Structure 1
Amino acid sequence: MAAATFNIWQADLMDGANFDLKEEIRDYWSKRSKTFDLAFGHKIAPGAEADAWQKPIRAALGLQPKQVLELACGTGEVTQLIHDLGHDVTALDFSEAMLAVARRKHAGKARLRFLLADAEHTMEPDEAYDAIVCRHLVWTLTRPEETFREWFRLLKPGGHLVIFDGDWAQPKPGGRIAMMLIALIDRICGADRNYDGALSSRHARIMEALPFGDGLHADVLAPILETVGFAEIELQSHSPIAKAQRKNANLRNKLRTFVYGRFILVCTRPTT
């Protein structure tokens, strides 16, 4: 999208509706916390899938322990992957319900703190972190450029930002065929109870109000990150993760990995 389009979106969101939108987003994810880990693609299975998620994090952060901020940690699945690599983790979410699940999951662990805060305005100190990691957060941002400036501020010079995300608005080429096959399985076997229809409709309404509501693409995201100062922007394939997810999945869930285009983006706050 052109920068002018983003400015128009941002202006629209500053007319007083933004607060309501963010509260709607918070309430939606709080309700999702009850079944979030049951829905395919959210829970990360140990073994091949966990390894596939960890690989780009390990490559970006290196082997030495780092101070890592995980944004929108949800129920703490990615939290575990970062923590298992030996890093000190601050796991942030603005849904108390999501954090409650994550805290129970990781009770008693050292080198880990949970923080109730807004990923768009964290209130954390300048240059406090060696790395920031987020999964499926960027598409929900109400003020993308302002938020990326906030994340830039939080990183130490030389620090890395690792983004896992995708285009959840439109299926990728061939994705519609996968969607049709999923719909056929739903008719034959019954709908997947871990995907709440009412919440899915609500999800669509929220998406329509967001700057990335018509789809998030790496080629749109990279220039915005560059504008706020990030460098060494590298696009990585999500395919190894999807391949690992398919190993032990049923047919319906295997098909889900083909519906939407997903990507990994890694960038750096320059040292000078």
Structure 2
Amino acid sequence: MHQGNFSLKEEIREYWTKRAETFDQSPGHGIRPGAERDAWAALLDRHMGPAPGARHVLELAFGTGEVTAVLLGLGCDVTGLDLTEAMLLRARAKHANAKHVRLYMGDAEDTREPAGRYDAVVSRHLVWTLVDPAAAFRDWFRVLKPGGRVVIMDGDYVRLSPVGRLRLAVSDWLSARQGATGPAVDRATHDSILSRVHFSGGLRPPALRAMLEDAGFTDFRVEKPSGPHAAQRQGAPLRQRLRIGVWNSFVLSCAKPGA
């Protein structure tokens, strides 16, 4: 691996190691049981599509295992890879008694999984961090069965609309006024990493689709995660509701031809 890429990946690993303890407390990371989990399940079920028997899913960058819980609830057989040991330990503890799940440390850009094994490759909040997404997408194409689908849940964490900036400003003002504190985020490290990944200018569906097409994928579907966002807003204080959906989140899925 190129030394520059290796160094950046080590920084990414260290950043998420520090975030692991409070990861589930951040809006958009933790998934509450009930309406929110059900909304994510409905969305994933649509995008993964049917499969004979239980779906065999490769989940990449599973974090603390929140999406893992949704996939298991759908009856999937899950293999998960994450770059960070701290996340792995939390996810394994969360799913210690679950069947049909195997969680390991691994690199989403070079999974080293067998070719043609999986019905779906699923990720949330991963693609914006990829150093070499073209290599990752080629590998995801390789590990999928013909007809298998990639499901990407992500967003543009760089470019904000004027309304989005206003919503964040009001949210910050309310938090300060109410003395509310959230999980500490090392913004300087976050921004430094963001400036050096492939999608440093922001991740949007058209550019992402073009790269996935180059890797061989077809049958694209894109939508906003409106259902999960609506469920997240239920019962949340105004300062949090203002932040939900502000980052141009999307779900994009596509298929490996040949089913």
User: Shift in Å at residue 250 of structure 1?
Assistant: 1.1
Secondary structure of the corresponding residue to residue 35 of structure 1: helix
Structure 2 residue corresponding to 1:62, chosen from 34, 50, 64:
50
TM-score if structure 1 supplies the norm length? 0.91
Q: CA deviation at 1:172?
A: 3.3
Q: Which residue number corresponds to residue 96 of structure 1?
A: 85
| Letter of the structure 2 residue corresponding to residue 94 of structure 1 | L
Give, in angstroms, the shift of residue 94 of structure 1: 1.2
CA contact (8 A) 2:222 2:250 kept: yes
Structure 2 residue corresponding to 1:133, chosen from 99, 122, 125: 122
Q: Which residue, out of 108, 111, 135, partners 1:122?
A: 111
Structure 2: state its 5+ residue gaps. Answer: none
Percent of residue pairs bearing the same amino acid type: 45
Asked if 1:267 corresponds to 2:254, the answer is: yes
Q: Distance in 2 between matches of 1:269 and 1:258?
A: 29
Distance in 2 between the 1:144 and 1:173 partners? 29
Q: Distance in 1 between matches of 2:82 and 2:245?
A: 28
- Alignment match, 2:21: 34
Q: Residue in 2 aligned with 1:226?
A: 213
CA distance in 1, matches of 2:161, 2:138: 30
Contact preservation (8 Å) 2:27, 2:244 = no
Q: Distance in 1 between matches of 2:231 and 2:97?
A: 30
**Is the 1:172–1:261 Cα contact (8 Å) retained in structure 2?**
no
Residues 70-106 of structure 1 deviation map (CA, whole Å, 9 limit, x = unaligned): 0000000000000111110001101010000000000
User: For residue 211 of structure 1, what is the aligned residue in structure 2?
Assistant: 198
1:163 counterpart SS class: strand
Unaligned 5+ runs, structure 1: 1-13
Q: Between 232-241 and 110-119, report the one with greater CA deviation.
A: 232-241
Counterpart amino acid of residue 73 in structure 2: D
Which of 157, 178, 196 aligns to 1:168? It is 157
1 CA distance for matches of 2:223 and 2:162?
19
Could you tell me whether the CA contact under 8 Å between 1:158 and 1:270 is conserved in 2? yes
Q: 1:178·1:258 contact (CA, 8 Å) conserved in 2?
A: no
Cα RMSD (Å) of the superposition?
A: 1.5
In the TM superposition, what are the counterparts of 1:230-249 in structure 2 within 5 Å?
230-249=217-236
Pick one of 103, 109, 117 that aligns with 2:98.
109
Contact map agreement 2:64 2:88 (CA 8 A) in 1: yes
SS at match of 1:68: strand
Q: Which moved more, 1:60-69 or 1:38-47?
A: 60-69
In structure 1, distance between residues paired with 2:76 and 2:162: 38
1:185 to 162, 170, 174: 174
Q: Which amino acid aligns with 1:114?
A: L
d(CA) in 2 for partners of 1:209 and 1:51? 35
